[in-house]
Structure 1
Amino acid sequence: MLNFVRSILLGTALGLAAPAMAQTAPAKLPDTDPALWVVKDSDTTVYLFGTFHALDGKTDWFNDEVKAAFDRSSKVYFEIVKPENPAEMAPLVQKYWMATDGKPLTSKLSEKGKKDLAAALASVGGTTAMVEPMKPFAASMVLAALGMQKVGKTGEQGAEAVITAAAKSSSKPVDQLETMEFQMQLFDKLPEAEQIKMLEHTAATFGDMEQTFAKMTKAWNNGDAEGLAAMMNEMETQSPAMHQLMLTGRNATWAKWIEERMKTPGTVFVAVGAGHLAGKNSVQDYLAKSGIKTARVKY
């Protein structure tokens, strides 16, 4: 598999992994400008903001046009709205994360995969026992979340968390395009061989996570949609099935939702993972196929 898969995994995994300590932010944060698009007609405006699910709180991105677009909007939409009480997720975790074939996870891995997984978990103070009852995709999610915590990036400081807090403080309603169960079902639909490939890759490259996400967050902070598109192209090349299931298909669905939403007057702010708004078959591409134009908001 490939490195960008990790950012997709984080959308769900960071809501379920053990909480991490928040980083202490400096008094003055460097300004960054992640990409923002807008779809408009005579009486409707839909802002499209590409998020990064886990951040370190060391940049000031929720300002300028992003903040202005948020302020103009009467409602915010996310991919999912995670429940405030993590206990509500327990039934879904049991249903979708836990293997039902009675086989331990490591029995499905190659010898190298077993060693890489054990080493990766040991580097963050864990053991394979914590993921042994899980399906391979679930173990990948846990490993990705633990790795992000290791390098100081947490969901607590991710874009969705910041925007959610702002919506709450301003009494702005929030809604979701999908549900947590739907996202878990997507991963669960992946053939087991594909799940194993994903887990073994994540374990084998665990030590490179800091460098990988430094590259990704730099592109996000700079609004480098082309850089993110290159990562999308890599994903499509290496795993067409993953690309179709996790990105292309959902992008088409969201574009249809936006097309319908344009029939209702008002201004809304739609925040989804940045990968969905970059590269071929992005949300913008599907909107264009329906004759709907998107424009990049200039800072």
Structure 2
Amino acid sequence: MFKKLALTASAIAFALSGCATTPGATTSVDAQTAQTMTSNGPALWRVSDEDTTVYLFGTVHVLPEGLDWLDPTVANALASSGQFVSEIDTSLVPEYDPTSGEAPPPELMAIAQMQAQMALLQTGGTLRDLMEEDDRAEYEAAMQSLGLPVNAFDQFEPWFAMISIGQVALMQSGFDPASGVERTLDRMIDGKERYAFETVEQQLGFFDGLPLESQLEFLDESVEGLPEGTDLLNAMIAEWMEGDADELAEILNDNIADAEIYDVLLSRRNANWAEWIEGRMDQPGTVFIAVGAGHLAGRNSVQDYLAARGFDAERVQY
């Protein structure tokens, strides 16, 4: 149920944390992976009236190095925009290479400390005490396969372990947050007004606020999905490169059976963002919004909530 969402959650946290909390050796993604991903162009939508244009662009938070995804139509839409909007302000999260031997920047240390404080387990025991015997055995085997001590996350809630394990697995598979879409766009927006829908603390809070049982299921399915994680992420990226929002929705969103998790991580946020866009349409100008591609795909997407408010998002053709 949660395997795909767990991988996506790890990718999100991987991108915003800059690997500050994820030790491990990196390896190279198969060079053919990027070369064989053909592109009709990642999907871009436009909402407009007589004096306002809002572009909606779905992103992938981590990518294999060398993937040529930036279509001229997207670049031109960004260049024409006076305001850039993203989920969080990634300019406040410095890039960091954990293999450099240098200490992480203070901003990343502050995020890591905040994350650890939020995730401290309050049950009186350890994380592994909360697991069923079979789940605990799978978890310990996964930790060992990644080169991590089995007790590394014993004092933390399941969501923290789930995200951290996913981060290590992504990094060891060669995925790099510096190659993610947000980081690339960051380098192209000098002089533009910037706005973020959420803060890092809010995003971590979405996971921290989930019921403990849901977190444990999240963690268990993330552990079970580790062997297929790279293939799954590559499949997501391939659909994104094709601009196939329907297939992307099926991969990312359609198997989330837990209504509360779906509401917290997807639909409630999409509704909030659509409300902001409605207000922004009252002001003239051009805005480029870049958010995770899953928020612009399938049911209860940002576009669905905009349509309910009387705004039609048209697909921009390349």
Instruction: Tell me if structure 1 keeps the 8 A contact 2:253–2:298.
Output: yes
Relative to 1, partners in 2 of residues 1:257 and 1:22: Cα closer, same or farther, differing over 3 Å? farther
- Between 1:146-155 and 1:280-289, the stretch displaced more is 146-155
Task: Find out whether 1:4 has 2:4 as its counterpart.
Answer: yes
Instruction: Tell me if structure 2 keeps the 8 A contact 1:76–1:174.
Output: yes
Which residue number in structure 1 is paired with residue 267 of structure 2?
248
Which residue number in structure 2 is paired with residue 190 of structure 1?
210
Relative to 1, partners in 2 of residues 1:275 and 1:206: Cα closer, same or farther, differing over 3 Å? same
Give ranges in structure 2 of 5+ residues lacking alignment: 95-106
Q: For 2:51 and 2:264, how far apart are their aligned partners in 1?
A: 34
Which residue number in structure 1 is paired with residue 290 of structure 2?
271
Instruction: Tell me if structure 2 keeps the 8 A contact 1:31–1:59.
Output: no
Which residue number in structure 1 is paired with residue 244 of structure 2?
224
Q: Which amino acid aligns with 1:115?
A: A
Task: Count how many residue pairs are aligned between Structure 1 and Structure 2.
Answer: 295
Q: For 2:128 and 2:14, how far apart are their aligned partners in 1?
A: 20
| Distance apart, 1:54 and its partner CA | 0.8
Instruction: Tell me if structure 2 keeps the 8 A contact 1:31–1:60.
Output: no
Q: Secondary structure at the match of 1:49?
A: strand
Instruction: Tell me if structure 2 keeps the 8 A contact 1:113–1:204.
Output: no
| Distance apart, 1:114 and its partner CA | 1.4
Q: Secondary structure at the match of 1:46?
A: strand
Instruction: Tell me if structure 2 keeps the 8 A contact 1:251–1:281.
Output: yes
Relative to 1, partners in 2 of residues 1:22 and 1:74: Cα closer, same or farther, differing over 3 Å? farther
TM-score, length-scaled by structure 1:
0.91
Match of 1:101 among 123, 129, 151: 123
Match of 2:87 among 71, 74, 79: 79
Q: In the TM superposition, what are the counterparts of 1:1-299 in structure 2 within 5 Å?
A: 1-5=1-5, 6-16=7-17, 17=19, 18=22, 32=39, 33-82=41-90, 83-84=93-94, 85-167=107-189, 170-236=190-256, 238-299=257-318
| Distance apart, 1:212 and its partner CA | 1.1
Q: For 1:31 and 1:195, how far apart are their aligned partners in 2?
A: 36
Relative to 1, partners in 2 of residues 1:24 and 1:205: Cα closer, same or farther, differing over 3 Å? closer
Instruction: Tell me if structure 2 keeps the 8 A contact 1:8–1:273.
Output: no
- Between 1:267-276 and 1:183-192, the stretch displaced more is 183-192
TM-score, length-scaled by structure 2:
0.86
Relative to 1, partners in 2 of residues 1:231 and 1:112: Cα closer, same or farther, differing over 3 Å? same
Instruction: Tell me if structure 2 keeps the 8 A contact 1:53–1:160.
Output: yes
Q: For 1:234 and 1:226, how far apart are their aligned partners in 2?
A: 10
- Between 1:4-13 and 1:186-195, the stretch displaced more is 4-13
Q: Secondary structure at the match of 1:129?
A: coil
Q: Which amino acid aligns with 2:140?
A: A
Which aligned segments of 4 or more residues in structure 1 are displaced greater than 4 angstroms?
19-26, 28-31
Q: Which amino acid aligns with 1:191?
A: P
Q: Secondary structure at the match of 2:121?
A: coil
Instruction: Tell me if structure 1 keeps the 8 A contact 2:11–2:61.
Output: yes
| Distance apart, 1:22 and its partner CA | 9.3
Q: Secondary structure at the match of 1:45?
A: strand
| Distance apart, 1:95 and its partner CA | 2.8
Q: For 1:51 and 1:269, how far apart are their aligned partners in 2?
A: 12
Q: For 1:160 and 1:100, how far apart are their aligned partners in 2?
A: 34
Superposition RMSD in Å: 2.2
Deviations 1:13-63 (A, max 9, x none): 44333377696998x967631111111111111110100111012321123
Q: For 2:126 and 2:236, how far apart are their aligned partners in 1?
A: 33
Deviations 1:69-104 (A, max 9, x none): 111111211101243220221442133122133321
